[in-house]
Structure 1
């Protein structure tokens, strides 16, 4: 009898191991990445995962003399090195460059996804305490290398977006928009920041993008969701997964657009002054979906999150259902590919990269964790028409690659901006560097 019981228990154990192995088996992409990019990406049936497919590049950094690889006709060199998690960039009127050195606040949350995210964040170096500062870089002689560096501002809370408006420098902390007075040429600010508006902070998506609106009086702040698909309840997502419009003089705000899982970079398209953003879409539906995207955003838009994706595809995991929203879910304008982690965004206006890079959007793709094989880990360019829309049939063009080599990450691009001489600056938060891309001589 005892032998039979042991045999039965061994059988159950084997069945359990087989089930766990099946649940945890990595989902591999069945489509080429390019098929899930552009204005008409292939949206395949979801392959829902109980245990996430985990694939992230081990950070190894750059060795002496190594740089990313620039596209033909372009060149790249280090603008600054030795930084501490440089995430976001802002150019002041005199050409000085502000760098938000920042990291996630301590993460909470449990469950399988929470555990996986904590392990992943630790592996890629994102689990370390945030520097919580802004550094100023100055390239006074215009040679493409910052010869002056100094701490510009401290005492912040996971800062990210920055912008100037009417003599005030606004900073988007993870939980509040703050400001300090700024005079041209200042190299350090010690004033205590004044809080303008508060919003939810931290959680899975802690970064807060910030730009001045087209009216010159208000600001746009991007606030990502706290979860993947509202698994902690829709109530936990109030004023999240949205772009807020803030009137700093009145210290008031409203939700400008919603249903955006994790909007980060924002920019105004030069010819139309329309608001555009890049968005990180949901995880754990397989390696082929859902594509991150670049899209124009108008007042009152809803892009479907968490109930729908890509203009009305139903996410079966979300409860309670919201069928009445389906017909109103706006389809994004341009797919960047699944899980690329699109973060940085700037338009070509002010850049002097020539040729095919004269009109369009540059996007910093931080790189995937929930896809086999890996995606992202580069800067891409999306060509636009003179009317301010992505060119019909155009696919993303690699601008800066070489961050990912043999499954290891030398760096991971985040923010992208134009410098005062027309070069493209790229923040690399794993390589702890700022790269400058210019036209080859």
Structure 2
């Protein structure tokens, strides 16, 4: 069995070597170039092999500095800044979907090579940087014995945590460094199979509604549509009653949710489908519109996916296009809007996006934090590399960004790196102003 699996892995690596992208295509913005499907015998697969940061830190624009606020975490994912400035970090790994095909087994092996070997924390850690030097002098296990926590939200003295199987809540008192009270279950979340296990979370501007993003149970419905009931959706949950409704459907894997501050509209970053070529299906940033269908699994960016059987042309015809492409397979997992003027200048209105990095193409994409400028509540212009250096010049991975959180109170950006198990703090230097996007260094190898 081991010998045959090793042989299959070697064959896959040889057959997938042709899956390179066309640098002439523009795959970002509201109208990305979408090439024809290139399915092939096997999907193109490549992961950046992990290496340490050593004495290096992420590369950021002139006028900013980077500090490792905390290291040696246990798979940091999403973060939340409490009213007193304390930072909560959700740590863990979930999912239990069994592979269906031999290539699923091989893909799992390849993807695992790019992950941390640290065990899942299944907890929330509190970080406190009272003196503002960028390093947490207080660190405590805030809540433990959770089930792959991911999304976090705080409303009126209550902390909400999206475990992989349920949305739960805890009462919070200002300054607490540990919660031992039993959780209250707000509502159960779909968790059978759990191909995409992460449950993203944010609260509406008025705090009354909690939004939860729930990913699909497959790539494109290969497990059958029966197991996709209330998957690839965004739920709206009444905070006080737990009653829920489905806001949007066909949104394959909404890995992070956030409220745009000038319009109070809900936005998401979404991971699109795999195995149809290195550039056929860009991941995206989009507003989440009430009642909208975003195409999964039947369509992507207005194109029909011929792999999906049975087809559903009537539903496919109702699909709307996402607002803004981020590039194919960048694996966007983090989203945070600049608030109260952000960093000022070129970084005053817009969204920071954590791009975890590709596996389904030969030339690596993602592995960075990008900035998408906004005007009047809408994306405006091309994305800008904000934090790079997660890839070395020879294509090894020092880190992989997940959650990003803009802290308006301290004018800092927090970045969770689940490969090096670090929370990075990016802040303007005391004597400098943030540079324009044109001056932003982008030395990372692509």
TM-score (norm 2): 0.90
Aligned 8 A contact 1:104 1:126 in 2: no
Q: CA deviation at 1:129?
A: 4.1
**Shift in CA distance, 22/162, structure 1 to aligned 2, threshold 3 Å:** closer
In 2: Cα distance, 1:126 partner to 1:233 partner? 31
Q: Find the counterpart in structure 1 of residue 5 from structure 2.
A: none
What is the correspondence of 1:29-48 to structure 2 with a 5 Å cutoff?
A: 29-32=20-23, 35-48=26-39
In 2: Cα distance, 1:257 partner to 1:23 partner? 40
In 2: Cα distance, 1:124 partner to 1:30 partner? 21
In 2: Cα distance, 1:388 partner to 1:192 partner? 39
Aligned 8 A contact 2:95 2:196 in 1: no
Aligned 8 A contact 1:27 1:286 in 2: no
Q: Find the counterpart in structure 2 of residue 395 from structure 1.
A: 382
> Match for 1:416 among 383, 401, 404?
404
Q: Find the structure with the greater CA-based Rg.
A: 1
5+ long unaligned stretches in structure 1? 1-16
What is the correspondence of 1:259-408 to structure 2 with a 5 Å cutoff?
A: 259-310=250-301, 312-350=302-340, 352-385=342-375, 387-391=376-380, 394-405=381-392, 406-408=394-396
Aligned 8 A contact 1:350 1:422 in 2: no
Q: Find the counterpart in structure 1 of residue 204 from structure 2.
A: 213
Q: Find the counterpart in structure 2 of residue 147 from structure 1.
A: 137
Aligned 8 A contact 1:366 1:413 in 2: yes
Deviates more, 1:350-359 or 1:49-58: 350-359
Q: Find the counterpart in structure 2 of residue 59 from structure 1.
A: 50
Q: CA deviation at 1:23?
A: 9.1
What is the correspondence of 1:224-239 to structure 2 with a 5 Å cutoff?
A: 224-239=215-230
Aligned 8 A contact 1:161 1:208 in 2: yes
In 1: Cα distance, 2:12 partner to 2:406 partner? 48
In 2: Cα distance, 1:321 partner to 1:285 partner? 17
The alignment of Structure 1 onto Structure 2 pairs a total of residues equal to: 418
| Aligned: 1:194 with 2:204 | no
Q: Find the counterpart in structure 1 of residue 434 from structure 2.
A: none
Aligned 8 A contact 2:248 2:288 in 1: yes
5+ long unaligned stretches in structure 2? 1-7, 432-446
Q: Secondary structure at the match of 1:235?
A: helix
In 2: Cα distance, 1:417 partner to 1:69 partner? 18
Q: Find the counterpart in structure 2 of residue 439 from structure 1.
A: 428
In 2: Cα distance, 1:182 partner to 1:290 partner? 42
Q: Find the counterpart in structure 1 of residue 166 from structure 2.
A: 176
In 1: Cα distance, 2:44 partner to 2:199 partner? 27
